[in-house]
Amino acid sequence: MFLIRMALWGSLIVLLLPSDKERQAQLYRTASDAVRSAATFCDRNATLCEQGAKHWAVFRTKLEFGAKLVFDMASERLLGMQPAVHRPDEDKSSAQPPQRGNGRVGA
C-alpha cells in the first residue's frame, strides 16, 4: 500500500512539472532562489534567528521533560518500574504507595 501511494504522489509530481524548456528554466531559477533565500535567512535576520534559537531551546527543554514524564508514567503503569528521578511531590520517607479513590474498601 505504501508503494502504491508513493507511486501515485510521484506520478502526480511528474505530471505537474513543465514540459517546455523555458518554463523548466524558470522553475529551476525559482527553486534555486528559494533554496538560497532559505539557506541565508539567518545571515539577513540575525536577531530573529537568535530569538528563535532561545525559544527553540525552551521548547526543546519542555519537550524532553514531557517525554520523560510520559515514559516514566508508562513504565510505572505498564511495567511496575519506579521512575529514575525523584518527583518533587513525593516523600521519600513514605514506603506505602499512594491511595487511590476515597480510601474505603467495597464502597
Question: What are the pLDDT digits (tens) for 16-53?
Answer: 999 999 999 999 999 999 999 999 999 999 999 999 99
How does the average pLDDT of the chain come out, rounded? 84
What does the H/E/C string look like for 31-79? HHHHHHHHHCHHHHCHHHHHHHHHHHHHHHHHHHHHHHHHHHHHHHHHH
Determine, yes or no, domain membership for 56. Answer: yes
The model's pTM: 0.47
Backbone phi, then psi, for 51, in 5-degree steps? -65, -40
Instruction: Quote the CA–CA distance of 96 and 102 in Å, as a whole number.
Output: 16
Whether 62 is covered by a domain: the verdict is: yes
Q: Cβ atoms within 10 A of the Cβ of 4, count?
A: 8
Of the listed ranges 40-54, 63-77, 89-103, the one predicted with least confidence: 89-103
Sign of CA dihedral 79, 82, 83, 87: positive
Q: What is the pLDDT of residue 24?
A: 95
Residue 38 lies in a domain: yes
In a domain, 96, yes or no: no
Does the residue 97 lie in any domain?
no
